[in-house]
Amino acid sequence: MVRLLFVDIDGTLVGKEGVPPCVWPAVEAVRERGIRLALLTGRPGRGEALGLARRLDPKGLHAFESGAVVLALAQDPHDPPATPLLVQALPQGAAKEAVRLARRLGLPLEGYTADGGFYVEGESPLLLEHQRLLGLEAEGADLLGLPSPLVRLQVLAGPQAPLGAFLEGLPPELEAHVAESPKMPGVRFVSLTQRGVSKLSAARFVAEAYGLSLAECGMVGDGENDLEVIRAVGLGMAMGNAPQSVQRAAKRVVAPVEACGLAEALRSLLG
């Protein structure tokens, strides 16, 4: 039996038109059965993503920044809205090397800090479009001179961007996670965390915090960056819009995001 379900955001919970309305009744039904829900996303734990976390499980644990940050939502209305339980910063030297590499290749660059800061370098339209998607406004800054440690770097790569050169030039201390969003088609989001930090490492942390093994958990996702969790949990589910590599790894394939695939996945837990 699945006691905790991890849910990706882009392409799983959120489609081109946002969250399909069919999802929320299924969320309520699952929670009434005592099944916990946890976001597992590359997005930062602010803006739209934090609002989605509150709707999924308003008193739960949720993983952001490709696994680098786990937040506990407030149990009491007088408490802070979210408390960091896990924050894993990038190695400083490797982060600076990645920033310089992105600059040389002309790639739009974002930086996310341990204190919740969101910073950008450059004036690419992709950076502005992504801020609208996140529901957050970034601050322009020199990412080599931030006062707080970086937990994640991210480049936004359009169809003609030299993504291969960027990935090949990264220092070994960093791990790259490539994802896409239906709200920004054709753009690849390359998220950099400390080596060993990933959605899977965060899933283990959250499961253990609830006193569970990954065998008692499920995962529903649509991207290559969800694969390792889909393979590791007791019930890995892929969206119908996921690549074939992700669908083949899953124990169950549900409908695409716009056709209520997440609601289908949630209802399957009620058996």
Q: Give me the CATH number covering residue 247.
A: 3.40.50.1000
Domain that holds residue 41: 4-87+198-268
Same domain assignment for residues 140 and 261: no
Average pLDDT over residues 241-250: 97
Same domain assignment for residues 108 and 156: yes
- Whether residue 176 has pLDDT greater than 80: yes
Average pLDDT over residues 163-172: 96
Residue 162 belongs to a domain with what CATH number? 3.30.1240.10
Average pLDDT over residues 241-245: 96
pLDDT band at 74 (very low <50, low <70, confident <90, very high): confident
Considering 194, 224, 253, which residue would you say is the last residue of a domain? 194
Question: Which tens digit of pLDDT belongs to each residue from 30-70?
Answer: 999 999 999 999 999 999 999 999 999 999 999 999 999 99
Same domain assignment for residues 112 and 163: yes
Same domain assignment for residues 77 and 96: no
Residue with tokens 């965390």: 193
Residue 107 CB-half CA count within 13 A: 30
Query: How many domains does the chain contain in total?
Result: 2
Same domain assignment for residues 101 and 138: yes
Same domain assignment for residues 184 and 117: yes
Considering 140, 174, 194, which residue would you say is the last residue of a domain? 194
pLDDT band at 91 (very low <50, low <70, confident <90, very high): very high
Average pLDDT over residues 3-17: 97
- Whether residue 247 has pLDDT greater than 80: yes
Same domain assignment for residues 186 and 228: no
**Mean pLDDT score of the chain, rounded to an integer?**
95
Q: How would you list the strands of the sheet with 235-238, edge to edge?
A: 36-39, 4-7, 217-221, 235-238, 252-253
Question: Which tens digit of pLDDT belongs to each residue from 178-208?
Answer: 999 999 999 999 999 999 999 999 999 999 9
Question: Which tens digit of pLDDT belongs to each residue from 121-151?
Answer: 988 999 999 999 999 999 999 999 998 999 9
Same domain assignment for residues 202 and 80: yes
pLDDT band at 77 (very low <50, low <70, confident <90, very high): low
Same domain assignment for residues 128 and 113: yes
Same domain assignment for residues 50 and 11: yes
Considering 177, 194, 211, which residue would you say is the last residue of a domain? 194
Same domain assignment for residues 8 and 130: no
